Structure 1
Amino acid sequence: MTTKHAVFHTIALAVRKNTDGIADSVDSVVDFLRAGGYTVVFEEQTALDLAPHFADIRSMTAAEIGAEADLAIVMGGDGTMLGIARQLAPFNVPLIGINQGRLGFITDIPLEGMFDALGRILGGSFKAERRTLLEGSVLREGRSIHLGLAVNDVVVARGAGAGMVELRVDVDNQFMYNQRSDGLIISTATGSTAYALSAGGPLLHPALGGIVMVPIAPHALSNRPIVLPESSEIMVEIVRGRDISVNFDMQTFASLMPQDQIVIRRSPHTINFLHPENWSYYNTLREKLHWNEYPSGEGKLS
Structure 2
Amino acid sequence: MKSPTQFRQVALVGKYQSTISGPAGAHSRQALEEIANYVLDLGCDLVLEADTATNMGMSRYATLNLEDIGRHCDLCLVVGGDGTMLGIGRELAQYKVPLIGINQGRLGFITDIPFDQYKAVLRPMLAGEYEEDQRSLIRGRVMRDGICVFSALAMNDVVVNRGASSGMVELRVEVDGHFVANQRADGLIIASPTGSTAYSLSAGGPLMHPAIDGWVIVPIAPHTLSNRPLVLTSAGEIAVEIVAGRDASASFDTQSLASLMHGDRIVVTRSEHKVKFLHPRGWSYFDTLRQKMHWNEGVI
Q: Flag structure 1 segments of 5+ consecutive residues without an equivalent.
A: none
- Which of 10, 29, 32 lines up with 1:26 in the alignment? 32
Q: Which amino acid aligns with 1:208?
A: I
Q: Deviations over 1:80-138 (max 9, x none)?
A: 00011111111110000000000000000001111111101101000011000101110
Corresponding residue for residue 126 of structure 1: 130
Q: Distance in 2 between matches of 1:120 and 1:168?
A: 50
Q: Deviations over 1:3-59 (max 9, x none)?
A: xx98211111110142440111111111111111211111122122123xx212222
Q: Which amino acid aligns with 1:111?
A: F
For residues 97-108 of structure 1, the aligned pairs below 5 Å read 97-108=101-112
- Within the alignment, does 1:71 sit opposite 2:37 as a pair? no
- Which of 82, 86, 100 lines up with 2:86 in the alignment? 82
Moved over 4 A (4+): none
For residues 1-302 of structure 1, the aligned pairs below 5 Å read 7-16=6-15, 17=18, 18=20, 19-20=24-25, 21-51=27-57, 54-294=58-298, 299-300=299-300
How much does 1:63 deviate? 1.3
2:212 alignment partner, SS class: coil
Deviates more, 1:185-194 or 1:7-16: 7-16
Name the Cα RMSD after superposition.
Answer: 1.2
Q: Which amino acid aligns with 1:68?
A: H
Q: Distance in 2 between matches of 1:83 and 1:216?
A: 24
Q: Distance in 2 between matches of 1:68 and 1:14?
A: 15
User: Normalising by structure 2, what TM-score?
Assistant: 0.94
Q: Distance in 1 between matches of 2:181 and 2:297?
A: 40
Q: Distance in 2 between matches of 1:83 and 1:235?
A: 24
Question: What is the identity percentage for the equivalent residue pairs of Structure 1 and Structure 2?
Answer: 51
1:31 alignment partner, SS class: helix
Q: Distance in 2 between matches of 1:173 and 1:191?
A: 24
How much does 1:279 deviate? 1.2
Q: Distance in 2 between matches of 1:175 and 1:163?
A: 24
Q: Deviations over 1:121-162 (max 9, x none)?
A: 101000011000101110110000000100000000012121
1:90 alignment partner, SS class: helix
Q: Distance in 1 between matches of 2:168 and 2:5?
A: 51
**Are the aligned partners of 1:162 and 1:242 in contact in 2 as well (CA < 8 Å)?**
yes
Q: Distance in 1 between matches of 2:271 and 2:70?
A: 18
User: Normalising by structure 1, what TM-score?
Assistant: 0.94
Q: Which amino acid aligns with 1:115?
A: K
Q: Which amino acid aligns with 2:128?
A: G
Q: Which amino acid aligns with 1:48?
A: T
**Paired positions, count:** 290
Q: Which amino acid aligns with 2:39?
A: L
